[in-house]
């Protein structure tokens, strides 16, 4: 059983950062005009943000975190932990979280941790950092979630490149004793499906060789090498529409929460068609499911906080809200969480 209830924790703020460079799906040479229109209608992705060659996910998360710290007025010495979730770290060694600790000028007593997860990463990392803070020894923490996932995609692969975008985020979390609200989680994984989303080589199981860089044609307009991302669209779709709604419903049932009591359901932005199937399957009103995929694509572990910042900012600033979030994908792993926000800090979207 992976149901977890975490007390004494509140989300103090959420921020997000994206590259300034915008790339329109209709301008991509790998898609014909007809394919482009069909792709947009199916996935909902019209444009994405693309990081420059020298811009990393840590840079995007740094700017999101820096703005958050300043707007909250937090002393940097009061931040006791920093968790960075990504699948595009700066280096294989060292971890990126200590680098972010230094970039943000945080104390040497700040606990740092990298988590390697993609689409479910925000939900999983929110559980980890909340668990650390709930005991009270750690008072404040930053959850930084971001990916420059397009760096892993072949520009000549129409199955991946038009779908993904780059983004980073920061979520500020703090200890608050005897608060009535709790963060509730339902977390799951199944490594049997790991081949559905993967990069074949470049790790230590299958090391990079000269042959790893050879471009191979899988089908029309799908050309990639073994160091680039592969995505089995049909299997991912089947996985998403079956596991995600079940995971959400299990959480609602286990904690006896009604759908009507949730203000917003923020799902991982895999693609619009998939998310609409999930929404309709659960009979959730459309106005309760914000989507950011039109302008940003699938930004991996950053999709949930990015969607909250871009689509729910006004509500986050001035209302008490009950949220249910769900992330699902690479691993395979998936998870859902339910929590409250109360007039939190939420800066405008940052562009760098």
Give the model confidence (pLDDT) of 186-234 as tens digits: 999 999 999 999 999 999 999 999 999 999 988 777 899 999 999 888 8
Q: CATH number for the domain including 50?
A: 3.40.47.10
User: Is residue 265 helix, strand or coil?
Assistant: strand
112-133 average pLDDT score: 97
As a whole number of angstroms, the distance between CA 49 and CA 331 comes to 24
User: Is residue 197 helix, strand or coil?
Assistant: strand
Write the pLDDT tens digit of every residue in 125-167.
999 999 999 999 999 999 999 999 999 999 999 999 999 999 9
User: Is residue 303 helix, strand or coil?
Assistant: helix
Number of domains in the chain: 1
What pLDDT is stored for residue 1 in this prediction? Answer: 58
Write the pLDDT tens digit of every residue in 259-317.
999 999 999 999 999 999 999 999 999 999 999 999 999 999 999 999 999 999 999 99
Beta strands in the chain (DSSP E): 3-6, 9-18, 22-24, 47-49, 81-85, 111-115, 140-147, 167-175, 183-189, 197-198, 216-219, 222-224, 230-231, 264-267, 320-329, 333-342, 350-351
Domain around 193? 1-352
Coarse DSSP helix, strand, coil percentages of the chain, rounded to the nearest 5 percent = 35, 25, 35
As a whole number of angstroms, the distance between CA 53 and CA 58 comes to 13
Predicted model pTM: 0.96
How many other C-beta atoms can be found within 10 angstroms of the C-beta atom of residue 261?
10
């Amino acid at each position: 059983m992976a149901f977890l209830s975490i007390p004494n924790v509140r989300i103090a703020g959420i921020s997000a950062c994206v590259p300034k460079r915008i790339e329109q799906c209709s301008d991509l040479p790998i898609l014909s005009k007809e394919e482009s229109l069909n792709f947009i209608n199916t996935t909902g992705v019209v444009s994405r943000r693309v990081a420059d060659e020298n811009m990393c996910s840590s840079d995007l998360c740094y700017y999101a975190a820096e703005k958050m710290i300043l707007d909250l007025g937090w002393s940097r010495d009061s931040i006791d932990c920093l968790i960075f979730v990504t699948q595009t770290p700066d280096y294989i060694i060292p971890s990126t979280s200590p680098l972010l600790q230094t970039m943000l000028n945080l104390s040497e007593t700040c606990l740092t941790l990298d988590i390697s997860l993609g689409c479910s990463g925000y939900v999983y990392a929110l559980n980890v950092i909340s668990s650390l803070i709930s005991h009270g020894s750690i008072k404040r923490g930053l959850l930084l979630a971001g990916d420059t996932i397009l760096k892993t995609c072949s520009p000549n692969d129409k199955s991946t490149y038009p779908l993904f975008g780059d983004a980073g985020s920061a979520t500020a979390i703090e200890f608050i004793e005897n608060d009535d609200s709790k963060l509730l989680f339902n977390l799951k994984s199944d490594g049997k499906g790991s081949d559905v989303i993967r990069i074949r080589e470049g790790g230590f199981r299958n090391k990079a060789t000269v042959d790893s860089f050879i471009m191979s044609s899988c089908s029309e307009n799908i050309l990639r090498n073994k160091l680039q991302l592969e995505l089995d669209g049909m299997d991912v779709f089947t996985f998403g529409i079956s596991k995600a709604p079940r995971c959400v419903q299990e959480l609602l049932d286990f904690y006896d929460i009604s759908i009507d009591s949730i203000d917003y359901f923020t799902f991982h932005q895999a693609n619009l068609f998939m998310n609409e199937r999930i929404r309709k399957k659960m009979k959730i009103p459309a106005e309760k499911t914000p989507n950011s995929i039109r302008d940003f694509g699938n930004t991996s572990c950053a999709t949930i906080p990015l969607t909250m910042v871009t689509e729910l900012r006004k509500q986050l600033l001035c209302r008490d809200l009950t949220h249910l979030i769900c992330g699902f994908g690479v691993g395979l792993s998936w998870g859902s969480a339910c929590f409250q926000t109360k007039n939190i800090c939420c800066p405008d979207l940052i562009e760098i």
